[in-house]
A and B are shown apart, each in its own frame.
Chain A
Amino acid sequence: MSRGGRHVYAALSVLAAGALVLTGCSKGGSDASDNNKQDKENAARQQKSIKFGDAADSTGPAAAVAGAKSGGTMEVLQRDSFAHLDPGQIYVSDEMALSQLIHRGLTGYKATTTDGKSHEVVGDLATDSGTTTDGGKTWKYTLKDGIKFQDGTPITSTDIRQTVERLFAPFINQGPSYLQQWLADSAGADYRKLLPDGPYKGKHLPSSVLETPDSKTIIFHFKTPHSDLPYALAMAGYSIVSAKGDTQAKYDKTPVVTGPYKIQSFKSGKSMVLVKNTNWDPKTDPIRHQYVDQFNFTFNQQFETSTKALLADSGADQAGVSFSNQVDAGNLSSVLKDPKMKSRTISGYQPYVGQMNINMSHASMKDKTVREAIAYALPITPFVRAFGGTDAMEVAGGTLSPTVSGYNAAFDPWGKKTKPAGDPEKAKALLKKAGKLNMKLTFGYTNTPEGQQYSTAMAAGLKKAGFNVQRQEIPAETYYDQISKLDNNYDIFHTAWGADWPSASTVIPPLYDGRGIADGAQNYPQVNDPKVNADIDAANKITDPVKAAAAWEKIDEYLVKDVVAFVPTAYYKQTQIAGSKVGGLVYDDVIGGVDPRRLFVK
């Protein structure tokens, strides 16, 4: 996913300038020893690849959380209200976190350790994570017994068909489109031609695409293998919708849910109350718990506000948490330095990785030696510092996050982990060799407080290497609109991207497949390398997740080291805090934040 709601968050951060200014005073820079320690942990983590679970793994109930007890009300302080409750429209992290409690899909991620760092994909509503006998072209799922919607209606294959078919309807335009594209065997938005009106005008997907031979069986047919289907179906965007309760566009306000909680009330932009769904059967669910009686959500809570409220740890906020807010940059260092406060925090990676893109469409950037000079010269320290230091950002070697299969902790071709301030001497020598000393380099940056801060120091680092850097400010609200235009003026500019599931198949193809270059698309550096394109096609066909991960890793390394169309900057991290009466507090790597399914009130 791209930085969800990035425009908005960037803009909001301007209003929170007071807090962000403090960022510059907080613990800054990156420390080589910190990175080394982190690398080792990440490398160890990657040795445990995500497995596709069988029927035994998919059987409920979920393993009990140590010390958990039922009851109580939990306060949830959120900055942004939920814009969508219809699973088909869910794609941003806040709504994905909520959907862990209210929606269920055919598959889901089950944590296999209590620290939230190891997972397997299991059957959620389905009996297992899916079976394929032809290398990923045909996938069969069988629904469990005893699964029901909140109104008590049993979930059948008719509901699954409805869920899939309605994704083709015009009003569904904000959720993921992997499954639709795979079923239609078509890139872009052409998949809609397969069923232009969805299931609402009497037409249905043919049995050559989707089969539901009985009330419990669902068979997906693809023209090309898609070994990632169990991952894709675990996305909140593919959670199940009730065929009987499908009110089309209105479903976004009144979904018929399947998870352990149902919506008692929702006042958009103000509050939401979740209560227990009595038709949820824990025996059918290997992933979720239902410890808390009620979740009270309050919106409009800025990061600084929620941090201070939870730090104060008084009244109802003692049982308070936030699914999406992180400890604000101004308070981060002091919170982590105080052992008492730190004991109420959890930290981990967000799915995002930053890249400084080099615009390959510009003639001056076609010289690889120049691009290598940029890669060596670019200081990452200012970027890390601008966002709150090493507690919030970690210097990146490649473009695959530590949470993605294929991550290689040792990969660091430009020496950023050892020299995060850049290597201007080496860069200058390269620039001299290319005969381009003092060449003009237009640096487009976002006018957020962080953007202002890091771009100034980065430009200084590049100048030291012999570039004539011209900084050009871009309003945060239109930043991504501007830099995703093919005909833009910027030689270098920063973006961030996150995987939709822990496979690089959701990172490398959308970002670097040259056939996807278009206005508004995400191949920001406009890379069109025949070898990359061919390797992407080859990697997409590999059905073994371990072998696929190795193939993606090779493409990543080739892109970073040989194509040099971007320079990885940092892996985004976050720290969240909860009240002292919150139990089961764990940072889940797949969710990219607190795991709401394990929470209980002490």
Chain B
Amino acid sequence: MLRFLVRRTLGAVVILFLLSIVTFLLFFGMPRDPGLLMCGKTCNPTSLANIHHVLGLDKPISTQYGIFLKNLVMGSNGFAQGPCPAPCFGYSYHTNDQVWATLIDRLPTTISLTLGGAFFFLLIGLGTGLLAAWKRGTIIDKTATAGAMVLSSMQIYFLGPLALALLVYQTHIFDKPAYNNFTANPVSWFTGLIIPWVVLSTIFAAQYTRMARSAMIEQLQEEHVRTAKAKGMSRRYVFFRYAWRGSLIPIVTIFGIDLGALLGGAIITEYTFSLPGLGNLAVQAVFFSDLPLLLGVMIFSATMILLFNIIVDACYAFIDPRVRLA
């Protein structure tokens, strides 16, 4: 297992390294000069050159990349805005905020959104999927399957504003979505995020319903499950002890990918509900051609996805002893 983890971690580092190079090159490949965005109304070549110099954009790309890597690993005291300890992504071109501090500041919003959303979509999705498999062929199964089909075709940018209009602005049943610090006020944390969680879970739960149902039905037809039934074990015991465990692998795989992607920033959800998480930060980085922020968000998001992929792979061994990770 240790060897596996080391190997996968090294692979992830290589991927992140390549990703940072690609992001760097793509940024400079864009027909857009970040200096111009800061140049103000009376922009002229001299002002622009001054801005390029202040941002370090007057250096060759390879040199800039080298400085980026060095700062990332060793930190830097060379920024006018102040010291930048490792991991140093530098300071935002647009806001002059330290990028790493900004990422950490936005992380609780994204983690809260992700974990809460995941709790709801797993609870609803898996619960409905299991129920549909348990009641296979009945009206319950058909309703759950059809409902999942309808919900999986919904989009957050449709459901989100609809939920806001109905539940917040017209009926005032729920608070306007906002992120409040959990430690400061757990109740307002919960009430501020309940609508984003529900909307997020509505979209995601549908696919888990379908996946759990089909995986369970497939497992229930496996020989070892049939054997268990033939031995006289109860339906409930066979369902949860044998079939459920076997159906977990595809669910965990997708869940790991979803969780990683959501932790990297649920862009549309955060944008729809005006939540200041990593997704909103990614939008800001792109719109302002903010290279340090863009690199920070990209690498952070990619790290999350890779990390959860490794965790998923490691989980296989625990879920299914037949899987060996050597």
With contact pairs A189-B50, A308-B164 given, residues A173 and B81 touching in the complex (Cβ less than 8 Å)? no
Q: Contacts A270-B276, A300-B274, A308-B165: A170 and B50 contacting too (C-beta < 8 A)?
A: yes
**B residues 19-40 in Cβ contact with A at 8 Å:** 30-33, 36-40
Chain B hits for A81, CB < 8 A: 95
Q: Check if A550 is an interface residue, CB within 8 A of chain B.
A: no
* A146 contacts B by Cβ under 8 Å: no
Residues of A within 8 A of B280 (CB): 269, 300
A residues near B, CB below 8 A?
A: 1-2, 7-8, 11-12, 15, 18, 81, 83-84, 91, 170-171, 173-177, 188-190, 192, 248-250, 252-253, 267-270, 298-302, 304-305, 308-309, 311-312, 314-315, 317, 477-478, 480-482, 500, 510, 518-522
Q: How far apart sit A175 and B51, CA to CA, in the bound complex (Å)?
A: 13
With beta carbons under 8 angstroms apart, the residue of A175, A298, A312, A481 that contacts B32 is A481
Question: Could you show 7 A-B contacts with beta carbons less than 8 Å apart?
Answer: A12-B283, A91-B41, A192-B46, A253-B96, A269-B281, A308-B164, A308-B169
- Which residue of B has the minimal Cβ distance to A188? B44
Besides A269-B276, A480-B36, A522-B41, 12 other CB < 8 A contacts?
A170-B50, A171-B80, A173-B47, A174-B40, A176-B40, A252-B96, A268-B102, A269-B106, A269-B280, A304-B161, A477-B289, A520-B48
Task: Assess whether A520 is in contact with B43, with CB atoms less than 8 Å apart.
Answer: yes
Residues of B within 8 A of A18 (CB): 157, 161
Closest 6 pairs between A and B when the two form their complex, measured CB to CB: A189-B46, A312-B169, A189-B47, A249-B80, A270-B276, A300-B274
Residues of B near any A CB (own CB < 8 A) = 30-33, 36-48, 50-51, 53-54, 80-82, 94-97, 102, 105-106, 157, 161, 164-165, 168-170, 172, 175-176, 178-179, 271, 274-276, 280-281, 283-284, 286-289
A269-B281, A269-B284, A298-B178 are contacts. A175–B31 as well, Cβ < 8 Å? Answer: no
B-side contacts of A171, CB under 8 Å: 54, 80
Nearest chain B CB to A539 CB, angstrom units: 18
CA distance A192 to B102 in the complex (A): 32
Complex CA gap A250/B81 in Å reads 5
Question: Nearest A residue to B289 by beta-carbon distance?
Answer: A477
A8 to B93, CA, bound (A): 14
Asked whether, in the complex, the Cβ of A481 is within 8 Å of the Cβ of B36, the reply is yes
Chain B residues with Cβ below 8 Å from A267 are: 105
Q: Which residues of B have CB within 8 Å of A519?
A: 45
Contact between chains at B95 and A83 (CB < 8 Å):
yes
Given A7-B287, A173-B51: A248 touches B170 (CB 8 Å cut-off): no
A174, B34: Cα distance in complex, Å: 13
Residue numbers in A under 8 Å from B31 (CB-CB): 478, 481-482
Closest to A92 in B: B40
Q: Is the CB of A520 within 8 A of B45?
A: yes
Q: Judging by beta carbons under 8 Å apart, are B169 and A309 in contact?
A: yes
Q: Let me know if A175 and B164 touch, CB within 8 A.
A: no
Given that A8-B287, A12-B287, A270-B105 are known contacts, is A521 also in contact with B43, CB under 8 Å in the complex? yes
**How far is A298 from B109 in the complex, measured between Cα atoms in Å?**
14
Known contacts A300-B274, A315-B175; A249 and B81 CB within 8 A of each other: yes
- Please state if B44 and A520 are interface contacts (CB–CB under 8 Å): yes
Most chain B CB neighbours (cut-off 10 Å) among A174, A176, A189: A189
A297 to chain B, nearest CB (A): 12
Query: Once bound together, how far apart are the Cα atoms of A248 and B175, in whole Å?
Result: 41
Q: Complex: how many Å from CA A71 to CA B279?
A: 36
In the bound complex, CA of A270 to CA of B179 (Å)? 9
Cβ–Cβ contact A309 & B176, under 8 A: yes
Please determine whether A188 and B47 come into contact, CB atoms closer than 8 angstroms.
yes
B288 adjacent to A249 (CB under 8 Å): no
The chain A residue sitting closest to B109, CB to CB, is: A270
Complex CA–CA separation, A174 to B47 (angstroms): 10
Collect the chain A residues with CB atoms within 8 Å of residue B82's CB: 250
Residues of B near A173 (CB, < 8 A) are: 38-40, 47, 50-51, 54
